[in-house]
Structure 1
Amino acid sequence: MALSSEIFHSCTRPGPDGKPLPNSKPLLVYFITGNPGLIDYYETTLKRLFDTLRTKHGDTDLYVYGSSLPGFVVDKLIPSSPPYDLAQQIEHHTSQLLMMASKLSHERNGAIVPIVLIGHSIGTYMCLEIISRWQVKAAESRAPMEIVGGICLFPTVVDIAKSPTGRTVAPFLALPYSTVIAHYLVKIVFLLVPVFVLTLLVRLITGMESPAAKTTAQFLKSKHGVRQALYLAKHEMTTVAADKWTDSLWGKPPSLSPSTIFSDSTNSTFNARRDSPFRKRSSASTMPKPARTPSADTKLFFYWAKNDHWVADDTRDDLISTRGRLSTLISGGRRVSATSELYRPVMEVDEHGIPHAFPAKKTHSLIIGDKLAEYIDEISVPLRARNVMEG
């Protein structure tokens, strides 16, 4: 069975013409893989997430989408040849996200499409970069979408070369032609080994369960996979360094200027916000409502491993202390945050013993699927409340 290029789950309530109802509420969940960038690894997690959200949010047109990174599977839509660096991966996902959002918006008469980005490992860096670029775009030049949330699983967003594995592989990847040499060595070693035999070897050596082991075996036998993975890792070592993002990405209270508060109701920014499908439309009031800044609308969640070979403990702890939301433990084991902290990212350290490579085991994949649904609930509940209050 060939490697998949994408996974797509959808649940809509079509009208008489078979198209989505114009006033329906869409939600696009867009997933970006880690490296190796094969979406097959995440099939169990994305299916669990979709099934859970569909049960909880039956009144929402739900779309859960993820694709393999360019260079890992054959993609005729990409004109250039692999391998592709980190910048090219980001550009590809940005274009794909805009295309999907525009399509969903067009089906709903131009409504704004809420989007939750999810990334794993280096996919988290791509998510933050996409959100950061979206935030600085002028409202009138944006695509018809609103990035309402970003979820970072086992994030490698700063100083990846300082991680235990990064310190090991960075010197090798810095050598001239190292990625090409390794690529051909792997091809020679496994040239005559059938996929099913290689799958058994991967299971025996790594402890992966069968689906993940088979995906890994197909990756090792693929035309460009190994070279693409090493080439991308080489760029990760040099690109993912110090925290480069501004406070607006990490969250700050919305600032409302007089011009924003008293802007004319015909202003294009206000109309775009007012017509969001998560807001109840009403003609009872003609008073313009204050527009929110992107940083107030994009809620970030980070899920860290307790021990992660791709993230140094000091890196994780520093980011949690400087960028994470401060909370207080109260009776009943529940954590609450001060109002001034609500715009900062939620940062949680795993307590289930789940490793960085969570797709290797089905049990871990299911737990992560449930955790993603939990985070998306936290994103969607404020949206629904805002829908009622601003209607």
Structure 2
Amino acid sequence: MPLSDSIYHFRAGQGPTKKSLLVFFITGNPGLIDYYHVTLNCLFATLCARDSDTELHVCGTSLAGFDTSPTPKHTSKALPVGLAEQTQYVTGRLISTARIISKQWDGETIPVVLVGHSIGSYMLLDIIAEWQATPAESRPPMDLVGGICLFPTVVDIAKSPTGRAVAPLLRLPGSTLLVHLIVRLIFYFVPIFIMTLLIRMLTRFELAAAKTTARFLKSKHGVRQGLFLAKDELKTVRSDAWPDSLWGIRPLQEFTSTITDVTNANDLRKDSAIRKRSSTTTTPIHTKSLGIPTSLTRLYFYWAADDHWVAVSTRDQLIATRGRHGGGKGEVSSLEEACKPVMEIDKHGIPHAFPVVAEHGRAVAGKVAEWIGQITAAL
């Protein structure tokens, strides 16, 4: 059985309220959507149970160059494919999906929540930043209302424990091709079912994840593509170069000009006073009562307590400088804080490679569903 190119779940709205939602998943590396069957199945079922009115689309795509079937038309360049081209490929798949759904809704703009795992979170932020920089009249028929980053590798991958270990190897000339050829030689004559058994014996992988890994190792280009992409990640993903607009940091006058729920000058003066006191007090404000700019994509980050692909210092610095200090419980101290990303550290021992264990995949799906509920409730 070949590796899958995509996963797509659809449920028509059941109630009188006519609306749609596209949840688009971006994989980590290896870029195989097959790893995420349990997570996406559980996410779809949970969202369906919570909201019967919305027409729901939950889908994800494998990355280019990983020998999926049917083979995607990734780029004009020969394999392997780098990070920038992967982002372009995923963007194309996203826009194509949104256009198809929009046509079914007479050209209406479709709300989209992006979900990214690992390096998929980096691509997610890149897609949102590009979308925000595009004039409204030139955008495709979609509104990027939310982005959920799972175990994100968005800054300084080379400083992570694994990054420090593998970077010297990947910098050697021809190393990715050499490792690829060695793996191909070792496993060329080994049947898939034997490789699957060996992988299960050596890891905690579920049967489905072990089969996907066996097919990945047996694929013609997959290992080289994965290594090449990892090398490009280490080179590309360094300091935080995202624009302030992505993180919800804008001049105060831009915020106040877009407030929609404050109806009189007294409320405006009250909100201004709260902002002035925010450095010395933490008076709570319910975020739903604030006029969050509609052009701002709500961001959520879910970090592992101990992630071999993310240095603890890198994670903590990003939380301190970019995260919402009031947390994600619906109350913050100011409008500025309400516009910043929610960042949460896992407390359940879920690892970076969560999709290979069904229990972890279901737990992550529950967290994603919770945050999607917060995003859609604010629309």
Shorter-chain TM-score above 0.5: yes
- Amino acid in the other structure paired with 1:25: K
Matches within 5 A, 1:176-325: 176-252=173-249, 255-256=253-254, 292=293, 294-295=295-296, 298-325=297-324
Aligned to 1:149: 146
* Rounded Cα–Cα distance in structure 2 between residues aligned with 1:257 and 1:49: 33
Give me the whole-angstrom Cα distance separating, in 1, the residues matched to 2:364 and 2:258. 40
Residue type matched to 2:295 in 1? P
How far is 1:50 from its partner? 0.4
Number of the residue aligned with 2:43: 49
Aligned with 1:352 (options 348, 352, 360): 348
Structure 1's 342 and 76: CA in aligned 2 closer, same or farther, altered over 3 A?
closer
Q: Give the length in aligned residue pairs.
A: 343
Q: Is the Cα contact below 8 Å between 1:135 and 1:294 reproduced in 2?
A: yes
Instruction: State the shift of 1:76 in Å.
Output: 4.4
Cα distance in 2 for residues equivalent to 1:294 and 1:314: 31
Deviation at residue 260 of structure 1 after TM alignment: 8.5
Deviation per CA, 1:131-184: give whole Å up to 9, x if none: 000001111111111100000000000000000000011111111111000000
| Alignment-derived partner of residue 364 in structure 1 | 360
Distance in 2 (CA, whole Å) between partners of 1:93 and 1:3 is 17
Q: Which runs of 5+ in 1 are unaligned?
A: 15-20, 262-289, 384-391
Matches of 1:307 and 1:245, distance apart in 2:
24
Which secondary structure does the structure 2 equivalent of 1:116 belong to? strand
Q: Distance in 2 between matches of 1:370 and 1:260?
A: 32
1:354 to 1:79, Cα distance in 2 relative to 1, 3 A: closer
By how many angstroms is 1:255 displaced? 4.9
Q: Match for 1:346: what amino acid?
A: V
> CA offset at residue 335 of structure 1?
7.2
Equivalent residue runs for 1:87-166 within 5 Å: 87-166=84-163
- Cα distance in 2 between the residues matched to 1:352 and 1:158: 24
SS at match of 1:247: coil
Report the Cα distance in structure 2 between the residues aligned to 1:382 and 1:50, rounded to whole angstroms: 20
Shift in CA distance, 291/327, structure 1 to aligned 2, threshold 3 Å: closer
Query: In structure 2, the residue corresponding to 1:249 is in which secondary structure?
Result: coil
Q: State the secondary structure of the residue aligned to 1:183.
A: helix
- 2-structure distance, mates of 1:59, 1:319: 37
Q: Partner of 2:129: helix, strand, or coil? A: helix
* Equivalent position of 1:342 in the other structure: 338
- With normalisation by structure 2, the TM-score equals 0.86
Match of 2:285 in 1: none
Q: Secondary structure at the match of 1:248?
A: coil
User: What SS does the corresponding residue of 1:179 show, helix, strand or coil?
Assistant: helix
How many angstroms does 1:211 deviate by?
A: 1.3
Aligned-partner residue type, residue 4 of structure 2: S
User: Following TM superposition, by how much is the alpha carbon of 1:293 offset from its aligned partner in structure 2, in angstroms?
Assistant: 5.2
Alpha-carbon spacing, 1:257–1:373, altered in 2? closer, same or farther (3 Å): closer
Ranges in structure 2 where 5+ consecutive residues have no aligned partner: 260-290
1 CA distance for matches of 2:325 and 2:254? 24
3-state SS in 2 of match to 1:111:
coil
Matched-pair contact (CA < 8 Å) for 1:24–1:108: no
Length-normalised TM-score, structure 1: 0.83
- Counting aligned pairs with the same residue, the percent is 53
Partner Cα separation in structure 1 for residue 72 and residue 22 of structure 2:
24
Alpha-carbon RMSD across the aligned residues, in angstroms, is 2.3
Tell me, yes or no, if structure 1 residue 6 matches structure 2 residue 2. no
Secondary structure of 2:4's aligned partner: coil
CA 1:307–1:380 in structure 2 vs 1: closer, same or farther (change >3 Å)? Answer: same
Secondary structure in structure 2 of the residue aligned to 1:63: strand
- Corresponding residue number in structure 2 for 1:386: none
Query: Where does structure 1 differ by over 4 angstroms across 4 or more consecutive aligned residues?
Result: 253-261
Deviation at 1:13, TM superposition (A): 4.3
Give me the whole-angstrom Cα distance separating, in 2, the residues matched to 1:27 and 1:210.
32
Distance 1:185 1:66 in 2: 31
